[in-house]
Amino acid sequence: MSQKTLTDDTRQGAVEAPSAASRKRWWILAVVAVAQLMVVLDATIVNIALPSAQADLGFSDGNRQWIVTAYALAFASLLLLGGRIADLFGRKTAFLVGVVGFAGVSALGGAASGFGMLVTARALQGAFGALLAPAALSLLNTTFTDARERARAFSVYGAIAGAGGAVGLLLGGVLTDALDWRWTLYVNVLIAVVAFVGGWMLLTNHRDAQSAKLDVPGTVLVAAGLFSLVYGFSNAETHDWSSPLTWGFLIAGGILLAAFAWWQTRAAHPLLPLRILLDRNRSASFVAVLISAGGMFGVFLFLTYYLQLNLGFSPTRTGVAFLPMVAALMVAAQLGTTTLVPRIGPKAVVPLGFAVAAVGMAWLTGIGIGSSYVSAVLPQLIVIGVGLGLVMPAAMQLATGGVAAEDAGVASATVNAMQQVGGSIGTALLNTLAASAATDYLAGKDPTDKLVQARATIESYTTAFWWSAVLFAAGAVIAFLLYRRGLPQQDADAAPVVHM
């Protein structure tokens, strides 16, 4: 064989190999996106089905928040640990175990015969989601090495993650109406089959065990601290703010989280390296994500109940009712991240978004027993969507952009954790305030009167919306104080921006 033939064959192989590898990379992206969609769906899909599940299983209004909170809390508190496990035992192994485990406990939740079984399944979903999500993110980081392809991959991943909440609301409504609330959990088994088969065929097991050690004390401290904090807020409803079960757990949570922060400065392999938090814009972004999630999760929960129980919407119609808010959020997100932040900087854009969301929430308190969706809910939802669209994507972009490549996964996991913790605390706190408002309204009135009951529920919803407005207004002030002036700095050598 001539030298020329060898050269030609080599060139042809060089052309074909990257093409085949490229095709495999995009299939891997599809598999990872399907798995991520499953995880994000479950933050909202059960919300729509909650009234039906509550009627079926007979649990109290005070307990219903735990169906949402158990998932978010387990997910948030174990997320950073999940990333370390993926490095230690292999990303493919962590991904497949996460997918199978998520499907198994989803089936358990779908078959729940009571509140305890359902809330346990939801907590286990969060635990397996915490293993699955960082593994999926790590797989994208290692699969896409070309900067341009990696940016495209993460934009697709970010779109799936962002739209998952809206898809969850709509899909939850359709499944509850057409089949049963239990199918909002059973559907994960079908999604997981696709993700598992694709992952088994396409993924390779890469691990970096030499540099990855499990920070067991850090994991115990942060998980216990977060649980104590949310449990304390929840106890304020069932007991009282003056109860030791309320302030005792809140104080314990604060102490445990302070101990976690101290331990991270001492640990050889910290769960959350503090260098991630040293940049002022990044820290401001973490706080912005925390506050925006706290207010937004409350909106989803209480507005779902208002639309179904007071306005008589079906679960499917309820899911559709949220879509204008999501559309407004996506338009504002595109405008904020591509035009406004690069031109005028986050110090103006993020506080503006919070202020707009606060106005929308305050406007939403005008709902009544016989209100019309078109006049009393729809415009307000669009305003809230615009506000949150200016806040959340910009904050996520700034929180994960500009970090060193080896910290990209940790920064992304921290953003996701902030979102889940904010949602957990927001849901618990707003539920507590809403229940107290309803109790105060019923004092001295006939609790068996249906009109009085209806007015009490409206009082509880509007109280939650007012406090969400206060939360967003506080977010505007805090964001304005924390963000640096000027435009965000872009580092060409930094890791790609990752949207969770």
Q: What is the pLDDT of residue 203?
A: 73
CA atoms within 13 A on the CB side of 444: 2
* Cα 349 to Cα 361: distance, rounded to the nearest angstrom: 18
Residue 254, burial from CB neighbour count under 10 angstroms (0-12, 13-18, 19+): middle
Which amino acid would we find at residue 433? L
DSSP states along 363-379: HHTT--TT--HHHHTHH
Q: Which residue bears the tokens 């909650």?
A: 50
**What's the first-to-final CA gap in the chain, in angstroms?**
53
3 state DSSP class of 82? helix
The whole-number pLDDT of residue 352 equals: 93
DSSP 261: H
Dihedral angle at the C-alpha atoms of 388, 394, 398, 401, nearest 10 degrees? 130
pLDDT of 355 reads 95
Residue 133 CA to residue 499 CA, distance in Å, equals 12
* CA-derived radius of gyration, the chain: 23
Q: What are phi and psi of 377, to 5 degrees?
A: -125, -50
Q: How many CB atoms lie under 10 A from the CB of residue 23?
A: 10
Task: Provide the H-helix boundaries in 91-146.
Answer: 91-110, 115-143
Q: What is the pLDDT of residue 258?
A: 93
Structure tokens at 302: 């209480």
User: Which pLDDT value is given to residue 104?
Assistant: 93
Q: Retrieve residue 123's tokens.
A: 């907590």
Three-class DSSP category at 447 = coil
Q: DSSP state, 406?
A: G
State the Cα–Cα distance between residues 127 and 102, nearest whole angstrom.
Answer: 8
List, as one string, the DSSP characters of 218-229. HHHHHHHHHHHH
Tokens of 498: 């990752």
The pTM of this model reads: 0.76
The count of residues in the chain is 500
User: Chunked in runs of 10, what are the mean pLDDT values of the chain (500 residues)?
Assistant: 44 42 71 79 75 82 75 77 74 85 91 87 89 75 63 59 66 80 87 84 62 76 81 68 84 92 85 79 88 79 83 82 83 80 85 94 87 88 89 78 63 74 77 84 80 86 92 93 74 41
| Residue in this structure with the two tokens 């009135």, named with its chain if needed | 445
100 contact partners, CB below 8 Å, separation of at least 6: 192, 196
Task: For residue 296, count other CB atoms closer than 10 A to its CB.
Answer: 27
Instruction: Report the alpha-carbon distance of residue 140 to residue 151 in Å, rounded.
Output: 10
How confident is the model at residue 164, as a pLDDT? Answer: 65
The confidence score (pLDDT) of residue 469 equals: 93
Amino acid present at 347: K
Q: In this predicted structure, what is the pLDDT of residue 3?
A: 46
Alpha-carbon distance 304 to 482, whole Å? 33
> Which one-letter DSSP state was computed for residue 338?
I
Provide the pLDDT for residue 208.
Answer: 52
Residue 108, pLDDT score: 92
CB 52 within 8 A of CB 319: no
Q: Is 457 helix (H, G, I), strand (E, B) or coil?
A: helix
Quote the CA–CA distance of 64 and 127 in Å, as a whole number: 20
- Residue found under tokens 């209480």: 302
